[in-house]
A and B are shown apart, each in its own frame.
Chain A
Amino acid sequence: QKEVEQDPGPLSVPEGAIVSLNCTYSNSAFQYFMWYRQYSRKGPELLMYTYSSGNKEDGRFTAQVDKSSKYISLFIRDSQPSDSATYLCALIQGAQKLVFGQGTRLTINP
């Protein structure tokens, strides 16, 4: 069983739609939860991170963690074509090692 499960998609939505991206994980010891965005032929860049359970909002993006269900989500409101990318959830093992989900390829259609 993978430590982090993420539906690879692809996911295609119209501009302005609300996007929901999700991951589940198996190890309850994980405490830090990250979302990375990766544009084509680029490296991952950090979008948001949260510690433990709860919500965190940054502009059009909201990250949500439910530790009881081992479930993390990223919501994108008013989605834009520039949001088209692969979104990767990642959990931190120890203090330094990232454990990634497979990534969801998202396309926002104008």
Chain B
Amino acid sequence: EAGVTQFPSHSVIEKGQTVTLRCDPISGHDNLYWYRRVMGKEIKFLLHFVKESKQDESGMPNNRFLAERTGGTYSTLKVQPAELEDSGVYFCASSPRADSTLTGELFFGEGSRLTVL
């Protein structure tokens, strides 16, 4: 069974440009999460989808970030326009149920590394 896949693995863009990160969750997982780790900091929660609906977007840093999950399958995270402080690793995770985090059934992708110059 395929795990959580993320694309691209690494993106280098200039400040002011737009980048779109994609996450394909494990098939059948209704819950999809985005997390981010900026340099020297801890991994932080960005948002949580249940199917196509945003359940919790309290971690989104500002309105330059837009997450979508059309059809409840894959998700995209767009950063527009990108700023230097957006550099980091963006992780996607998926789980079958809302309480799966409590039972350890939360699976992370390998992350998309974003470098903003």
Interfacial residues, chain A to chain B (CB-CB below 8 A): 2, 4, 6, 32, 34, 41-46, 49, 88, 92, 94-103
Interfacial residues, chain B to chain A (CB-CB below 8 A): 4, 31, 33, 35, 41-45, 48, 55-56, 59, 91, 93, 98-99, 101-102, 104, 106, 108-111
| Chain A nearest CB, measured from B25 CB (Å) | 13
Tally the A-B contacts, defined by beta carbons under 8 Å: 61
| Chain B nearest CB, measured from A1 CB (Å) | 13
Q: Quick one: which of B4, B41, B45, B98 contacts A43, CB cutoff 8 A?
A: B4
Listed A/B pairs (6) with beta-carbon separation below 8 Å: A43-B108, A44-B91, A95-B102, A96-B98, A96-B101, A100-B44
Q: Which chain A residue shows the least CB distance to B113?
A: A41
In the complex, chain A residues whose CB is within 8 Å of the CB of B31: 96
Q: Is the interface of A mostly helix, strand, loop or mixed?
A: strand
Tell whether, in the assembled complex, residue B56 and residue A41 are in contact, meaning their CB atoms are under 8 Å apart.
no
Alpha-carbon distance between A94 and B102 when the two chains are bound, in angstroms: 10
| Chain B nearest CB, measured from A87 CB (Å) | 13
Q: Which chain B residue shows the least CB distance to A93?
A: B45
- Among B31, B55, B59, B111: residue with most chain A CB under 10 A: B111
Tell whether, in the assembled complex, residue A98 and residue B4 are in contact, meaning their CB atoms are under 8 Å apart.
no
In the complex, chain A residues whose CB is within 8 Å of the CB of B33: 96
In the complex, chain A residues whose CB is within 8 Å of the CB of B99: 95-96
In the complex, chain B residues whose CB is within 8 Å of the CB of A101: 42
Tell whether, in the assembled complex, residue B56 and residue A97 are in contact, meaning their CB atoms are under 8 Å apart.
yes
Tell whether, in the assembled complex, residue B43 and residue A44 are in contact, meaning their CB atoms are under 8 Å apart.
yes
Tell whether, in the assembled complex, residue B104 and residue A49 are in contact, meaning their CB atoms are under 8 Å apart.
yes
Tell whether, in the assembled complex, residue B102 and residue A98 are in contact, meaning their CB atoms are under 8 Å apart.
no
Alpha-carbon distance between A46 and B56 when the two chains are bound, in angstroms: 22
Q: Which chain A residue shows the least CB distance to B31?
A: A96
| Chain B nearest CB, measured from A20 CB (Å) | 20
Q: A43-B109, A49-B104 are in contact. Are A99 and B45 (CB under 8 A)?
A: yes
